[in-house]
Structure 1
Amino acid sequence: MSKRHAELPLEQNFPGSPASKKARVEDETGGNSGNGAPAHRASGQELEQDERNGNDILAAADLEGEELQEAAQDVSESSDIDIDEEAPALSAPKRQTQPMEGYGDLYLDTVNRSVLDFDFEKLCSISLSNINVYACLVCGKYFQGRGPKSHAYFHALEVGHHVFINISLKKVYVLPEGYEVKSKSLDDIKYVVDPHFTKDAVVKLDREVHDAWDLSGSRYRPGFVGMNNIKANDYFNVAVQLLAHVLPIRNFFLLHDFPTPGTPELVLRFRTLVRKLWNPKAFRSHVSPHELLQEVALRSSKRFTLTQQSDPVDFLSWFLNNLHLSLGGSKKPSSTPTSVIHAAFQGRVRIESQAITAHSDTQNARLVFTESGDIKSNVTPFLILTLDLPPTPLFQSANRESIIPQVPLTTLLNKYNGLTASEKMAHRVRHRLLHPLPPFLLFHIKRFSKNRFVSERNPTIVTFPSPRSLDMSPYVEPNPEIWPPGEPIMYDLVANIILDPSVAAPGANEDAADKGVNAASGAAGSSTGAGAGSEKVSWLVQLHDKAVSAENSRHQQGGAAEQQHRGSEWLEIQDLFVKRAESETLFTREGYLMVWERRKVSGQKGKSRTK
């Protein structure tokens, strides 16, 4: 049986077929062309017929591609017109990489240096973020970022403050335009954000007296400026002032450049604070330690804060150890110093202990203590040497206000002569310093003791004949290989932290304050230092001005025309107050922590440790 030939193609018999759908879609798309006339589209039947007739299929495909491309271009142009019609009337200004010609100093007249204060922690005033912080040079507030959606950008649009400085990069930008300002007139602000020093300038700090003036015209001495006591952080202020005048530590933090990404925040903030203390171009004659205090409170788990009084020695011990580790120092004892902290303060002491046993004497009916024949000796490194005060007299005269116990400093140092013994936990202990002594010695005069009921302060005055020429050779075990026997080892006083007993503890009666007894709360725990419990004390520091001392020495060596002195060589700083102090009255106050610097002697062994 023969096949029946199809009369119509399948596309015409079934209008719902995919081929017919494709043709309709193409016709509709072509009908939306710009001229309004439907574009000619080759259907599947026509293409098949062309193939049968031998026409070029590739040429037809190219023609179809060109038509599709023209249609897509028309659609994109129409969409652009719609977007332009829907755009708002006000749009954000375009970002500029540089100011327009002749407008490089635009908005710089709005910079207000009197309100700028870069001592506080660099946090955005809105988001409290410490990332990419900018400071407004008009109002002094901190904002995050400078992009079109940042807080600094909105601040520029809403308030009209246009000049901002990046705190970390020290670059100045104008917002909302976004270009960088490279004017030399802003270099003083960049210097205040992060002061920097040269080697020649650091060498002259202790040789020449250079007074400076702040924005208000007040004169101040760089390095001897007051520090803000926010609430109860005077213990922190005196410890930082003390460290800022220790020569190797000061020079290290003034000159060393720390890599910002890999350096702990404690080191960076302490470096910035030391540089601000010695800044000769400061806008104010005082410094606020708020930024470093926040980091200390975080690292110490709220042990040392700005709202609660603490012991300067406790804080200094914690701070020196953490600063040593942050600088890459080793936790294990080492024969050579592994950081500038140990190079300045670490020494060695030999401790000998004998056990004491108690037994009863049946013949005399009394208790007898005997020493063990076994003596244990070990060598221990130290950073701070503790000096024990003798107990206050049990019975006082009627004129007790005018009688204050006194003891020489050399008597307290006999603790380290290797002969004087002290009893501790059923052991008799003797101490002896070993060579070589560190370049700087820290003496802690232990004034506070605590029993179950009260915390007592010992008001005994520690006297010394002169702030210069303290001989430490009697307290060091002889070692001819390091230091010749019999040669003196001289130390000079650098700083002296003073306890001010004028502030009594809350709730302590007048009689207890006169005796140096303050009430301690039950929450004080085992702390025996200043600030334990509810006790409140005040601190100040006395600092030696080496530059004035050097000029006075030059004047004495000069002729009769150069006999005029610059004044006293000592300054007393209590919070924001700075005044001169006479060297003859240094020991008339209750000293708590002293720093003595080893005198350099040319041509002697062991001098390398003093450098």
Structure 2
Amino acid sequence: MSKRSASPSDERSSSRKRVHIKDEADVRVISAGPDIPDKSNGKHIKNGDLSESSDQEDYEVEDYQAESEPAAAVAADLYLETVNRKRLDFDFEKLCSVSLSNVNVYACLVCGKYFQGRGKSSHAYFHSVDEDHHVFINLQSLKVYVLPESYEVQSSALDDIKYVVNPTFTKNDVALLDKRSIESFDLNHKPYRAGFVGMNNIKQNDYLNVIVQSLAHVPPLRDFLILENFEGKPELVQRLSILVRKLWNSRAFKGHVSPHELLQHVSAISKKRFRITEQADPFAFLNWFLNNLHLVLGGSKTRLKSSFIQKIFQGIIRVESQKITTHDASDRLRFEGDTKIQRSDIPFMFLSLDLPPAPLFQGDIDKNIIPQVPLQTILSKYDGSTTQELAGDRRRYKIIDLPPYLIFYIKRITKTQLVEEINHTVVTFQSIALDMSPYVDGATEPILYDLVANVTHESVFTPQGEEKHVYRVQLKDKSRDEWFQIQDLYIENIRREILFLNESCIQIWERRR
């Protein structure tokens, strides 16, 4: 049988064959075709960081790739079968698992691990060769590449992964969040409802979970965080934005999210005042969080309503103070109020409410009775006539201007150097039509508010006998007029008639239009 002469097409096919050679020094792709110049010389590699430009110069394969593009497309389709969506989790901080750098990070779509760069000296490159994992996504640009060949995948089959990395919404989508209830399903076919999903308690971060969940259900703030472009803004608002978008994502791979990225940044900028491993007071965190959001959004420390945060939550209250002086007369100490009354208008973002003190002496029967107080009773602090004595002053409060969203702080925990006291008094309330007009100066018509979020506290004892605080949040689903109670990953329906049975500590109320 005569030998068939080689045709030009065979020669071209032969020139595209690759031989993989791996030794201890390096891993390179050797081709019988045109030489691929190596221009990196390590000059773009500094302290383990690889920039996007170093990746491009590591390869310089534009002309060579154009010749082998059909073969690359076929290989990409084959490699896409190795993508494992159930192992992907984009909630954690974008750090390379080897170098711990946050520069130019890629996620392996086969195992879910993060690696830096895609050049032939990068950690992602070595991972693709060592583990035979080939599909990677850039977590910043959302471009997908096949390694070690380093060509971009153009297939739309991975669009769902790109959406999970960075969920996006249109104005029409946001307008329907409170009007249309869609039941979604995760990869395990378990149902979940967007906006009412659990948040991981990594260690002791339930104090942050309840605050983020509450703020994510304040419609103007939620819509602002979802729709606004925060590119170039401080990291705090960027990380909060992506977390809120993930909470409301109806196309998620799992029915819960993790606040890990936000927590890490909060811990850093608060100088570890708020940490993952130590529980903090939810109100202390809310106070710090809103004030820092106000500042990073360009707010002023002196000008009123200078940021979007203050436009939502800031009101004005009038404080009248009167000095109390003492006089010693005929063996009796007499206290008299100064005739001069000082008035000042002070901006506020929270209204603190004081619970009546628990009785000092209780009988055996009284110990089993939990005291109750109506919300209107503790709100009387702001009626303009009820007085409080504090630090040698007699004070009265009256609200001058109410914000669109009103935050109540019900102080339950009092810490001293020796002991921590908890007031378990139950505050009774109706979740709709709270009339604030009796506490507003000059109000002649009802000013009605409806409850949006209710953060509750519970004291439990560990098997070792230590007292532990547990925080939950109750949220209203406006699309179905239902209430949900969320404790980390646990979600349950709760009847509106029994909301007050829990120990409320923070409430957010929405003013009716």
TM-score over 0.5 for the alignment?
yes
Inter-CA distance 89–367: structure 2 relative to 1 (3 Å threshold): closer
CA-based RMSD of the aligned residues comes to: 1.7
| Separation in 2, partners of 1:487, 1:438 | 16
Q: 1:421 and 1:89, CA in 2 relative to 1: closer, same or farther beyond 3 A?
A: closer
CA–CA distance in 2 between the matches of 1:216 and 1:577?
Answer: 17
* Cα deviation code 1:210-258 (max 9, x no counterpart): 1100000000000000000011000010000000000111000111112
2:487 aligned to which of 549, 574, 586: 574
SS at the partner of 2:373?
strand
Alignment correspondent of 2:29? 92
Hey, what's the Cα distance between the residues in 1 that align with 2:121 and 2:180?
51
1:443 equivalenced with 2:408 (yes/no): yes
Question: 2:120 aligns to what SS in structure 1?
Answer: coil
Residue of structure 2 equivalent to 1:333? 303
Of 206, 213, 218 in structure 2, the residue corresponding to residue 246 of structure 1 is: 218
CA positional deviation for 1:546: 0.4
- Which one of the candidate residues 304, 323, 326 is aligned to 1:358? 326
- Structure with bigger gyration radius: 1
By how many angstroms is 1:444 displaced? Answer: 0.3
> Residues 70-219 of structure 1 correspond to what in structure 2 (within 5 A)?
91-93=28-30, 95=59, 96-97=61-62, 99-101=69-71, 103=74, 104-219=76-191
Q: Give a deviation string over 1:129-178, Cα, whole Å, max 9, x none.
A: 00000000000000000111110011111111010000011110011111
Find the partner of 1:490 among 423, 441, 448.
Answer: 448
Match of 2:458 in 1: 500
Amino acid at match of 2:490: F
In the alignment, is the contact (CA less than 8 A) between 1:309 and 1:536 conserved in 2? no
User: Residues 458-494 of structure 1, C-alpha deviation per residue, up to 9 Å, x if partnerless?
Assistant: 0000001x2000000010111xxxxxx4210000000
> CA distance change for structure 1 residues 185 and 375 in 2, over 3 Å: closer, same or farther?
same
8 Å contact from structure 1 (residues 422, 428) kept in 2: yes
- Higher strand fraction: Structure 1 or Structure 2? 2
Is 1:343–2:301 an aligned residue pair?
Answer: no
Does structure 1 residue 545 correspond to structure 2 residue 513? no
Q: 2:354 aligns with which of 359, 365, 388?
A: 388
The unaligned stretches of length 5 or more in structure 2 are 1-24, 31-35, 37-58
- 2:268 is aligned to 298
Residues 504 and 424 (structure 1), Cα distance of their counterparts in 2 relative to 1, 3 Å cut: farther
Query: Equivalents in 1 of 2:450, 2:463: separation in Å?
Result: 34
- What's the CA shift for 1:208? 1.2
- Helix, strand or coil: the match of 1:223? coil
Secondary structure, counterpart of 2:460 in structure 1:
coil
Report the Cα distance in structure 2 between the residues aligned to 1:392 and 1:91, rounded to whole angstroms: 75
Q: For 2:329 and 2:289, how far apart are their aligned partners in 1?
A: 50
The aligned amino acid for 2:445 is E
Counterpart secondary structure, 2:339: strand
- Which residue of the partner structure matches residue 199 of structure 2? 227
Deviation at 1:575, TM superposition (A): 0.6
Amino acid at match of 2:414: S
The alignment status of 1:268 with 2:247, answered yes or no, reads no
Structure 2 counterpart of 1:400: 366
Provide the rounded CA distance (Å) in 2 between the counterparts of 1:330 and 1:170: 36
Residue of structure 2 in register with 1:319 after alignment? 289
Q: What letter is aligned with 1:356? A: I
Amino acid at match of 1:227: M
Number of corresponding residues: 454
Unaligned runs of 5+ in 1: 1-87, 479-484, 509-534, 550-568, 601-611
Cα distance change, pair 189–90 in 1 and its aligned pair in 2 (3 A):
closer
| 2:128 counterpart SS class | helix
Distance 1:117 1:374 in 2: 63
Q: TM-score, normalised by structure 1?
A: 0.72
1:473 paired to 2:437: yes
| Partner residue, 2:5 | none
CA shift for structure 1 position 500: 1.4
- Residue 453 of structure 1 deviates from its aligned partner by 2.4
Per the alignment, in what secondary structure is the counterpart of residue 267 of structure 1? helix
Instruction: State how far apart, in whole Å, the 1-side matches of 2:464 and 2:170 are.
Output: 48
The equivalent of 1:373 in structure 2 is 339
Q: 1:310 aligns with which of 280, 286, 301?
A: 280
So what's the TM-score if we normalise by structure 2? 0.86
Q: Secondary structure at the match of 2:242?
A: helix
Shift of 1:106: 3.2
Per-residue CA shift, 1:431-467, capped at 9, x if unaligned? 11112x1000000001122334211000000001x20
- Report the residue type matching 1:339 in the other structure: S
2:248 alignment partner in structure 1: 278
Task: Summarize the Cα distance change of 1:504–1:440 in structure 2 as closer, same or farther, 3 Å threshold.
Answer: farther
Amino acid in the other structure paired with 2:424: P
| Alpha carbons 2:374, 2:428 under 8 Å: kept | yes
SS in 1 for 2:360: coil
AA aligned to 1:369 is: F
SS at match of 1:107: helix
The aligned counterpart of 1:64 is none
Shift of 1:182: 1.1
Q: Does 1:459 align with 2:397?
A: no
Q: Answer yes or no: is the 8 Å Cα contact 2:28–2:120 preserved in 1.
A: no
Distance, in Å, in 2 between the alignment partners of 1:251 and 1:113 is 29
Task: Give CA deviations for 1:37-82 in whole Å, capped at 9, x if unaligned.
Answer: xxxxxxxxxxxxxxxxxxxxxxxxxxxxxxxxxxxxxxxxxxxxxx
| Among 589, 595, 598, the residue aligned to 2:508 | 595
Mapped to 1, the partners of 2:229 and 2:78 lie a distance apart of: 34
Opposite residue 460 of structure 2, the aligned amino acid is S
What residue identity is the alignment partner of 1:487? E
Structure-2 separation of matches of 1:540 and 1:128: 34
Shift of 1:367: 1.9
Query: What SS is found at the alignment partner of 1:308?
Result: coil
Where 1:418 maps in the other structure, the secondary structure is coil
Instruction: Give, as a single letter, the amino acid of the residue that structure 2 aligns with 1:455.
Output: E
Deviation at 1:545, TM superposition (A): 0.6
